[in-house]
Amino acid sequence: MYALIMVITLLLSYIVSKQKVEYRKILIFINAVVCCIYIIWRITVIPIHSGIISFLLGITLFLAEALGLISFLNFKYLFTKKYKLELKTLDDFQYGNIPYVDVLICTYNEPLYLLEKTIAASTNLDYPTHKFKIHVCDDGRRDSLKLLCKKYNVNYISRDNNEGAKAGNINNALKYLKGDLFAVLDADMIPKKEFLSRTVGYFTNENLAFVQVPQVYYNKDTYQYNLMKNIPNEQDFFMRDIQEARASINAVLHVGTNALFKREYVNEIGGYPTCSITEDMAVGMLLQSRGYDSVFINEELVLGLSATTFTELVKQRDRWCRGNIQVLKHFNPIFTKGLTLPQKIAYFDGGVYWFSNLQKIVFILFPIIYLLTRKLIIDSSILTLLNMYIPFILGQILIFNTLSPGNRKLTWAHFYEIAMAPHLTLSILKEMLFLKTKFNVTLKEIQQDKKQFQFRVALPHIVIVIVTIIAWIVSTRLLIEKNIHVQAYLLNMIWSIYNFIGAIICIKVSYQKPIFRTSERININEDITVECDYKQNKFKAKILNLSEKGIGLKLNEELDLQCEETIKLDLKGSIFICKISRINKDLLGLSFNKVTPYQMKLIMSIFTENMQPYYKIAKSQEYIVNKKEVAEVAMVS
């Protein structure tokens, strides 16, 4: 009866919430009541009279559910506020006195061709040339990179050691900077021309410490590529949705790149903290604890490369997980003075997120444990359990669908969590036990000619699949022998099948498809015509796609051309010497020979103008425009 009443109440409040945003509070309140009833009831059904093992299993499952509920309540809290930003431009500075900006490109051992793209794009920034300077901060101490910087007339900064990792690298650079502001870019993060012109204007607010823009990716992530799915990038939910929610309470998370800082305020906190391998979270939180403001601009102003293999993705998340735990140990947000209560909740939620991997492991293992051992974990009848659980889970689904902007489906959240949970559980244990681990930089541009099964990262999921099948066999035999409770058997079978599907998806992701190109080509949306000269025969073609290594053209007609032959290309008045790499009817692929810095800047100018996320989500920054600007717009209209 309870389930029926609450399900009807939840569904009605959900329908009402769709009519008007203000009515969402009704759904949130009813769901909060359901959550409280459920978690109190769960305490009463922890088995206390069925032996120590059942008691420990019952306590563990309850704590896992409690952790999940805390995370869910934090989600509700963050997404109940609307984030709007007052539009600011360079025109907001009095008398045109815009600040000087130092642009830091941080690198350790990334390939030079990758860095060259970022350097060339940075030189094209739409900002007065006498008001910004580019610095390449090299922790790899490479003479070849120093020479590349000289070619592009940008500053090269290095140091004698790698103390403090990336944070130490930035702190070293800060000693040489004189600008009012400094921007931080990772080696693969390519800024659009308007990156500075769209962000610097907000520093008319003297209390602003930093501006963050999302990490967006112009290549396929490992899920999109290996599963051949047209889905949002796995990071879009955090980078575009959660960050926006955090911005509404001045708790924007600095993500290590794509940010602009006021140098004076960063120096005030002693520079970047070096206690963690992920310095980003700490520096943003410390600035906010000083009472400074942070701004999030939800625009695609900088685009980079997502991890392309499951192995590299796991390495990246391992580093992020351990780094965030290190920050929490040194700067516990609950006890950090200066943070507001909403900010404390937001940063606490960030810590809970990583520990939710332990929760997922419990949810994976416990149905298997029951099917193998028949150990009592919840001391309740199935009907009573369903009576309490159905309203609880339905409320979470309805709240998620109501508050979430739609860039993450619950099914895919399940797959992502199963993919990472075994690996990040190990990361958490290593960090909590103070075990030293190697610092790994994520490789972004990888080339391999053959399919490859990444056995090492798939091993936990293979084990889950094998053990699950064994549990099914054992429990089914017990069912036939009438030695297991039928309803409990069915419930845990459904639960284990749900997890089994997730593990199979992860194994499929581990089956790496070939990656033939080391460099990503982007489609050209502009109508750009070039002139080609092949053995003194000239013809025109339209650009289809482009990278720093080559260009794809569409011919007006099929021509008699030969692969490996040399051809000249006139692109906006600059002559490129190319090699014909492929011909397919009226489609022509060319590889650039030696490219000058001027030509690379030209390539990257076109590249950044047409650069878009592989999966473009329906999301844009919502701006508040002041009355004066509205009046001006009206007059122009």
Domain ranges across the chain: 2-78+352-512, 87-306, 522-610
Predicted local distance difference test score (pLDDT) of residue 636: 31
> Domain 87-306 has what CATH class?
alpha beta
Single out the residue of 313, 281, 298 nearest to residue 215, CA to CA: 298
Predicted local distance difference test score (pLDDT) of residue 426: 94
Give Cβ neighbours of residue 470 (< 8 Å, ≥ 6 apart).
Answer: 372
Predicted local distance difference test score (pLDDT) of residue 628: 47
For residue range 147-169, what is the model confidence (pLDDT) as tens digits?
999 999 999 999 999 898 899 99
Predicted local distance difference test score (pLDDT) of residue 450: 83
Check whether 635 has a pLDDT greater than 50: no
Single out the residue of 65, 165, 189 nearest to residue 115, CA to CA: 189
Check whether 190 has a pLDDT greater than 60: yes
For residue range 375-406, what is the model confidence (pLDDT) as tens digits?
999 999 999 999 999 999 999 999 998 887 77
CA-to-CA separations, 106 to 10, 22, 27, 165, 189, in angstroms, rounded:
50, 45, 46, 11, 10
For the residues 503-509, what does the mean pLDDT come to?
Answer: 97
Helix axes 341-373, 486-510, angle to 10 degrees: 110
For residue range 66-101, what is the model confidence (pLDDT) as tens digits?
999 999 999 989 888 888 899 999 999 987 799 999
Structure token pair of residue 439: 């610092």
Residue 465, Cβ density class (10 Å: 0-12 exposed, 13-18 middle, ≥19 buried)? middle
Q: How confident is the model at residue 438 (pLDDT cuts 50, 70, 90)?
A: low
Q: How confident is the model at residue 25 (pLDDT cuts 50, 70, 90)?
A: confident
Beta strands in 284-337 (DSSP E): 293-296, 302-304
User: Parallel, antiparallel, or unpaired for β 574-584 and 566-571?
Assistant: antiparallel
For residue range 283-301, what is the model confidence (pLDDT) as tens digits?
999 999 999 999 999 999 9
Question: Three-state SS for 303?
Answer: strand
- DSSP-assigned letter for residue 238: I
Question: Is pTM beyond 0.85 here?
Answer: yes
Q: For tokens 């593990």, name the residue.
A: 503
CB 319 within 8 A of CB 440: yes
Q: CA angle, corner 555, sides to 554 and 561, nearest 5?
A: 115
Predicted local distance difference test score (pLDDT) of residue 627: 46
For the residues 469-491, what does the mean pLDDT come to?
Answer: 95
Mean confidence (pLDDT) of the chain: 92
Furthest CA-CA distance within the chain: 92
Predicted local distance difference test score (pLDDT) of residue 406: 73
Check whether 516 has a pLDDT greater than 70: yes
Single out the residue of 608, 223, 208, 211 nearest to residue 408, CA to CA: 223
Q: For residues 357 and 393, give the distance between their C-alpha atoms in angstroms, rounded to a whole number.
A: 19
Q: For residues 311 and 234, give the distance between their C-alpha atoms in angstroms, rounded to a whole number.
A: 15
Q: How confident is the model at residue 515 (pLDDT cuts 50, 70, 90)?
A: confident
Q: CA angle, corner 355, sides to 353 and 361, nearest 5?
A: 115
Q: For residues 368 and 489, give the distance between their C-alpha atoms in angstroms, rounded to a whole number.
A: 11
Predicted local distance difference test score (pLDDT) of residue 81: 83
Check whether 629 has a pLDDT greater than 80: no
For residue range 446-458, what is the model confidence (pLDDT) as tens digits?
667 788 999 999 9
User: Parallel, antiparallel, or unpaired for β 208-212 and 259-262?
Assistant: antiparallel
Total length of the chain: 637
Predicted local distance difference test score (pLDDT) of residue 531: 95
- Please tell me the CATH superfamily of domain 522-610, with its number: predicted glycosyltransferase like domains (2.40.10.220)
Name the more confident of 434 and 89: 89
CA-to-CA separations, 325 to 347, 424, 431, 446, in angstroms, rounded:
11, 11, 7, 29
Q: How confident is the model at residue 202 (pLDDT cuts 50, 70, 90)?
A: very high
For residue range 299-341, what is the model confidence (pLDDT) as tens digits?
999 999 999 899 999 999 999 999 889 888 888 899 999 999 9
- The sheet with strand 155-158 has its strands ordered as 155-158, 132-138, 101-107, 181-186, 259-262, 208-212, 293-296
CA-to-CA separations, 180 to 32, 177, 194, 468, in angstroms, rounded:
47, 9, 19, 59
Give Cβ neighbours of residue 414 (< 8 Å, ≥ 6 apart).
Answer: 498, 502
Check whether 631 has a pLDDT greater than 60: no
Name the more confident of 224 and 278: 224
Give Cβ neighbours of residue 274 (< 8 Å, ≥ 6 apart).
Answer: 163, 164, 165, 167, 168, 171
% of the chain at pLDDT higher than 70: 96
For residue range 592-627, what is the model confidence (pLDDT) as tens digits?
998 999 999 999 999 999 999 999 888 778 888 764
Q: CA angle, corner 216, sides to 214 and 222, nearest 5?
A: 135
